[in-house]
Amino acid sequence: MSTAPTTPIDAMHFRRTLGQYPTGVVVITAVGADGEVVGMTVGSFASVSLDPPLVAFFATSTSGSWGALRATGSQFCVNVLTADQEAVCRQIAARKTDKFEGVPLRFTDRGSAVLEGALAYIECDTEAVYPGGDHDIVVGRVAELDVQEATTPLLFFRGGYGAFVPLSLATADASLASQMRYVDLARGPMERLAADLDTEVSALCAAGSDLVIAASAGQVVRPEMITRVGQRWPYAAPTGALFAANRDEAERRRWLATASDAFGYEAAVALLERVEADGVAYAVGPAAEAHLFETTAMDIPVHLVQSSAAEYNVPLTEMSEPVELRFASVPIFVDGEMVFELGVWGRLEPISAAQARAIIDRVRSCADEVVALIPGAGVERVPTA
């Protein structure tokens, strides 16, 4: 190690420059012999090695919280915070003793304290603690780990908190920014619906010639996908019928013009009429078609949508055979304009038509809960005079 005098670097300059590098945020927890949970908020967490499985974080050597963590023994647990856990992050970063007051925790078989609602947790045995200037480099050997919530992480950048927005969203039509404000207010009801139905719930916004999944709650059908947020669907028949049916005449014509030979213009007109009458868009379809709704592609190609063999808005009352519900979405209006669609993704197993109708009704009541939270919102279009 070099002992040569270091060039003095201004502390502010150091912090400001290093603050250009964003980090995620984790809470490190440990449980003392008396059962007391101690912990600290950490941004310097990183994955180190797969074989053996190692992770690390850097703790201020003089930190009281790190001292308390260290004193508990040789285990700790890393809790990756979600974008909506900023309050937990701040509470646990505070210099106080009862840091976990009101923070829901559960205890694993190994005795680790896991934060309810954390994105993921990683249980570790302390492998080594190395000196690193005014910090300690704490290396943990991973014993257990899992993803808990299929959502997005809390980010820390230039001293402020934020959430991850995929470039596919960030580069979309600027109008998405205003739609996103409303979508954000829908999160609570979306989470509850996803938990009730044990499926995934998404909010889709129209952005230029695409539909973009702006928010998602619940487990994705394909675990390797992690989240659907940012997935883009082409605004082409039969996709986007809900927007076409609930916006103006020009929008309707624009959408109808996207009908391909495979889907058909007449079929698109008939679909618009059914969607308008039903106030909901849904599809049922054979297992062979499930790939369209389960694809992990972030940009869904238009030909895949147009060649879909799913049946859209077929009258469920006439169905006696079990169906596989692919999705069901309802529109959310603000000041009379449709701003996003709120939908559930189906489960793969066949269900009765009555069960499918019950799911659709549940989506409708979720929409009622959502509009109650957004000033000026409604579940029906207010025609302009």
Ligand X SMILES: Cc1cc2nc3c(=O)[nH]c(=O)nc-3n(C[C@H](O)[C@H](O)[C@H](O)COP(=O)(O)O)c2cc1C
42 binds ligand X (CB under 6 A): yes
Q: Tell me if 63 contacts ligand X by CB under 6 A.
A: yes
Is 93 an interacting residue with respect to ligand X (CB under 6 A)? yes
For 187, phi then psi, to 5°, come to -55, -45
Q: CA-CA distance, 60 to 304, in Å (whole number)?
A: 53
d(CA 186, CA 343): 12
Query: Least CB distance from residue 149 to ligand X, whole Å?
Result: 19
Q: Which residues contact 116 (CB under 8 A, 6 or more apart)?
A: 104, 105, 106
The number of beta carbons lying within 10 Å of the beta carbon of residue 181 is 11
Q: Which of 18, 52, 95, 385 binds ligand X (CB under 6 A)?
A: 95
Q: Which of 44, 209, 296, 352 binds ligand X (CB under 6 A)?
A: 44
Q: Using the rule CB under 6 A, is 25 a contact of ligand X?
A: yes
* Cα–Cα nearest to 196, from 341, 330, 362, 365: 362
Cβ distance to ligand X smaller for residue 117 or 264: 117
Residues 121 and 114: beta-carbon distance below 8 Å = yes
Asked if residue 13 binds ligand X (CB under 6 A), the reply is: no
Phi, psi at 330, each rounded to 5°: -125, 155
Member of 65, 72, 216, 227 binding ligand X (CB under 6 A): 65
From the list 29, 38, 58, 149, which residue makes contact with ligand X (rule: CB under 6 A)?
A: 58
CA 317, 321, 322 angle in degrees (round to 5)?
95
Among 60, 148, 209, 219, binds ligand X (CB under 6 A): 60
Q: For the packed helices 176-185 and 187-197, what is the interaxial angle rounded to 10 degrees? A: 60
Q: What tokens does 299 get?
A: 């940009």
Nearer to ligand X, 57 or 327 (CB): 57
Residues 212, 136 contacting (CB under 8 angstroms): no
Closest CB 341 distance from ligand X, rounded Å: 35
Kind and range of the H or E run holding 135:
strand 135-147
Selected range binding ligand X among 11-19, 55-63, 168-176, 305-313, rule: CB under 6 A:
55-63
**56 vs 339, beta carbon nearer ligand X:** 56
In 3D space, the residue among 84, 149, 65 whose CA is nearest the CA of residue 114 turns out to be: 149
Q: Pick the closer one to ligand X by CB: 81 or 203.
A: 81
Of 64-72, 194-202, 255-263, 295-303, the segment contacting ligand X by CB under 6 A is 64-72
376, 182 Cβ separation under 8 angstroms = no
The minimum distance between CB 121 and ligand X, in angstroms, equals 17
Choose the binding region for ligand X from 57-65, 221-229, 294-302, 367-375 (rule: CB under 6 A).
57-65
Residues 140-169 that bind ligand X (CB under 6 A): 156
Reading phi first (left if > 0) and then psi (alpha if -120 to 50, else beta), residue 313 is in left
Closer by beta carbon to ligand X, 93 or else 267: 93
Residues from 195 through 234 that contact ligand X (CB under 6 A): none
Q: Which residues of this chain interact with ligand X, rule CB under 6 A?
A: 25, 40-44, 57-60, 63-66, 93, 95, 156
